[in-house]
Structure 1
């Protein structure tokens, strides 16, 4: 074991022979990166425009990754590199891609791939900026919006995503997969693996952080299945010289995620490329599951407890109220029968206050019970008479008629679909506010129960609150309504909104 290089070795490393390491192309690639590739943004690593300086662990990684056999062909055909966020993954990937474009085979095809086009462009954009910043690279490479060409060799570097309609006719020499954990399925990975079959020494590299173990179908995700396979190769249970994995994670996966020793194990660039003070700050305001995934590169099972024990109770202020006429946002989460229906109010104040307006919940013996829709609509109207309601924040699912009725009456209904794109940042914001006591709450036992019932679900689309399982009777509707309402209450109001507040005195 190499104890002299900080950050090396990773927790899991597949074996490579000394002879293959001696013949590795890693040193040549490292030399190219440090000679021509520049930092693209001011960061802890250095100022924009200065040449990249690879760390010792990155030199080791390239030597292992690009090991060569006696016939000079790459030992590996597929590789998975797992490391926590902000350890220089994008810059290293961009450097590898440009080296493969500039010094790869004639007619080479290099691809940046990801689950969506925006993600795929991250590594490519870094590479493009590196070309712009360096005189030599800009003189021999031609830039296009989604491609970089090396005219002398006829090689091309392109962006490709799962959203692309066709991947037919590809013949890749080098493929960089960014954030493999967000791949919805194996399709693009398998297509690229098959497409490179005609090349003599191709390489496909996935560079990622951990994520959820399961995909939306409940099966092992692509990234987790590769991780599990890589562990078996590293342990010698499977002999597969063509597969490489280097994965940084804590030795004890249950280690305290608040312990700096845990951070160091999962971050080879800790205290160097990544700032220790940033970790100390982030751990105070990030849900544990999300912190473990992104900061300690640890897989989560899919769900975990949402708020830390005691955090919600610490925000209780039963004496606090929201005075009549105050500016507020209402959060509404409704169903007809299976779940409860919740109406929550959050004040638009510097320290928001959260309270329950009403909860309609099916009783234990309530077979056939349905939410009293007219009562719900009247409760919303009454809340609008009592407070100055900036927005009635609601998911349009199943309640479109009610929302239309309220809109026709002039009430400020704002749709908030409970998609991952919306609920992930809203869940994080609510967590931060609760843990840092940047909100107060009424002490309502029903709201506390729903908050306590909520769990975090992490998958390829993000981290957000869910019921423990689909058919659970543990309700979370008040929690969902509170998350939506707080997200809107802390936003800066739009000037001259399309819908004015209703002047109830005129009715």
Structure 2
């Protein structure tokens, strides 16, 4: 391993340049950038060769065999080990790396744990142009179980406890303990296990953080996410401190640590100057697929992992979508590596694409006869006024306006003015339907002005059939919306509460607001105009539980 340079790469048409942003920002240390048509130099070839020469597969059908990297894994290493030749003055030590942080995502079963363990070993015990002096490499997962799985893979690759793994080429060179690995010759440095649930690890001076399954770390600011943050901050105290994060997609792209990283990475792909030191490598199914079609599911699983056909059977994964007990949203998240836009406990969790499928031309023409549904609150909660119109194709076009509390309260006069001025001037309001609990006084004001007010108490008896009917309307595509993200957030956050006749809707564990969803339910019930006998019984909707 005396070589310290990789073969020169001249063209952007090479496989290693796939997915690169168009603009190549300069080195953040000295301003150097590659000449037109050339790429950054890389120690990727050295890293690939070291892994394949020195490491073994630590588990599964390939246990004990030499570690072999797939093309996509090699490409990642070439990118990760790009460096600035102008800043590299001490050839006995690692150079100034182009990237300080990385996020790599792929579907479940991609071999991420084995790959990240191999990178951990490389960063700890690799050649001097990669592994720094006195390496301090924490390998992190959310739970002790996942951290143990990751650490055990690395430990096996390096010979195992008491040098029991004789298949490992590096056996005998390390002292392997339950949670830590050190050099057998006493050199400074360690590779060790970290579980985010166990603490924040203040005071450490890591050189490389290897973090697995970030979707399990939860929201930004949570205890687990803070453990990751503290170690990340510690990286800045070392000259070559860097972090690699691996994961499958999560549930909440807008309120999670992984979601924030993912969105940041998507922005960096469009404009690398936003964060030139962030490497984003995410494999996922393309937009617009209908997962009910086997051909589309095959497209999804092949796009979401390059392990397709190598580590697992494509046809088997495609068939699994319809197996009993397999939740549709879980299949999409695990096997298509797509963020599931519905909450984990959402009433649409078994139909995660249903609301997106309803997006289309939701234009409501001027002077159209509309139903206005109001879900009112006094304080803390939001207020939603939803306008609905049945178009000539029989679909119900909807739009919504939502008020958030200011100073802890909602100004009801603003809501009334919106209805009496904005909506009334643009459309023909056939009725305003509302729950009299919080809207009784505003309703009387509107009624005195000539509007048709219809009470809709949100009792279990009334809401049960209305919620069932709303679900049926969404699944059948009878609703059409323009993609309003606020309306989508309210609709997908509602949670099903079963009762003896069907179900109603309420907030879930996330406590996200669902007022626009309730207004939608009420408006659909009024427009679809059930027979009086149907309105008296919720029995037809019990099948949706």
TM range (shorter): 0.5 to 0.7
C-alpha offsets along residues 175-196 of structure 1, whole Å, 9 cap, x if unaligned? 1110111112331222112101
Equivalent residue for 1:289? 329
Match of 2:145 in 1: 118
Tell me, in whole angstroms, the C-alpha distance in 2 between the residues paired with 1:283 and 1:11. 33
**Separation in 2, partners of 1:226, 1:155:** 29
Alignment of 1:210-359 (within 5 A): 210-213=249-252, 220-236=255-271, 238-252=273-287, 254-256=289-291, 258=294, 259=296, 260-285=298-323, 286-303=326-343, 305-307=348-350
**TM superposition shift of 1:166:** 4.3
RMSD across aligned positions (CA): 4.0
Equivalent in the alignment of 1:33: 51
Q: Does 1:168 align with 2:202?
A: yes
Given the alignment of the two structures, is residue 148 of structure 1 paired with residue 181 of structure 2, yes or no?
yes
Q: Does 1:48 align with 2:63?
A: yes
> Aligned to 2:72, which of 50, 57, 79?
57
CA distance in 2, matches of 1:136, 1:147: 19
Distance 2:242 2:48 in 1: 17
Shift of 1:136: 3.3
Residue 192 of structure 2 corresponds to 158
Correspondence list, 1:414-493, <5 A: 449-450=502-503
CA apart distance, 1:12: 8.6
CA distance in 2, matches of 1:26, 1:467: 48
Given that 1:306 and 1:454 are in contact with CA atoms closer than 8 Å, whether structure 2 keeps it comes out as: no
Question: Aligned partners of 2:509 and 2:322: how far apart in 1?
Answer: 19
**Structure 1, unpaired ranges of 5+:** 310-360, 367-444, 460-465, 483-507
| 1:213 CA displacement | 2.0
Q: Does 1:190 align with 2:229?
A: yes
Deviation at 1:277, TM superposition (A): 3.0
Residues 300, 458 of structure 1: 8 Å contact kept: no
Is 2:51–2:118's contact at 8 Å kept on the other side of the alignment?
yes
Q: Which residue of 2 aligns with 1:129?
A: 156
**1:364–1:176 distance in 2 versus 1, CA, 3 Å:** same
Cα separation, partners in 2 of 1:472 and 1:30, compared to 1, 3 Å: same
- Judging changes above 3 Å, is the alpha-carbon distance between structure 1 residues 267 and 9 closer, same or farther for their aligned structure 2 residues? farther
Unaligned runs of 5+ in 2: 1-10, 26-32, 88-94, 160-164, 353-457, 464-497, 522-537
CA distance in structure 1 between the aligned counterparts of 2:317 and 2:23, rounded to whole angstroms: 29
In the alignment, the residues of structure 2 paired with residue 59 and residue 14 of structure 1 have an alpha-carbon distance, to the nearest angstrom, of 22
Computing the radius of gyration over CA atoms, which structure comes out larger, 1 or 2? 2
1:96 matched to 2:119? The reply is yes
SS in 2 for 1:265: helix
When residues 12 and 470 of structure 1 are mapped into structure 2, their CA distance, relative to the original with a 3 A threshold, is farther
Aligned mates of 2:284, 2:157 — CA distance in 1: 30
Cα shift readout 1:34-69 (whole Å, capped 9, x = no counterpart)? 1122122234xxx21111211111111110122112
**C-alpha separation between the residues in 2 aligned to 1:255 and 1:3?**
32
- In structure 1, what is the Cα distance between the partners aligned to 2:509 and 2:17? 29
The 3-state SS of whatever aligns with 1:111 is strand
Any idea what SS the aligned residue of 1:136 has? coil
**Secondary structure at 1:138 match in 2:** coil
Aligned partners of 2:138 and 2:49: how far apart in 1? 22
Report how many aligned residue pairs link the two structures: 336
In 2, the alpha carbon distance for the partners of 1:55 and 1:148 equals 27
- Structure 1 residues 66 and 109, CA gap change in structure 2 (3 angstroms): same
Q: 1: CA distance between counterparts of 2:258 and 2:155?
A: 27
Cα drift, residue 253 of structure 1: 5.3
Cα distance in 2, alignment partners of residues 8 and 290 from structure 1: 32
CA contact (8 A) 1:11 1:247 kept: no
User: Structure 1's 263 and 166: CA in aligned 2 closer, same or farther, altered over 3 A?
Assistant: closer
Contact preservation (8 Å) 2:102, 2:244: yes
Q: Does the CA-based 8 Å contact 1:8-1:268 persist in structure 2?
A: no
Cα displacement (A) at 1:129: 1.7
Deviations along 1:420-477, one digit per CA (max 9) or x if unpaired, are xxxxxxxxxxxxxxxxxxxxxxxxx976834xx6899899xxxxxx9978996999xx
Preserved contact between residue 69 and residue 75 of structure 1 (Cα < 8 Å):
yes
How far 1:221 sits from its partner (Å)? 0.8
**How far apart are 1:243 and its partner, in Å?**
0.9
Q: Which has the higher contact order (CA 8 A, sep 6+)?
A: 1
Which residue in the other structure is 2:404 paired with? none
Q: Which residue number corresponds to residue 109 of structure 1?
A: 136
Output one character per residue of 1:65-93: Cα deviation in whole Å (capped at 9) or x when no partner. 22112222111111100111111111110
Contact 2:213/2:247, CA 8 A, preserved across alignment: yes
Distance 1:294 1:253, change over 3 A: farther
Q: 1:35 and 1:18, CA in 2 relative to 1: closer, same or farther beyond 3 A?
A: farther
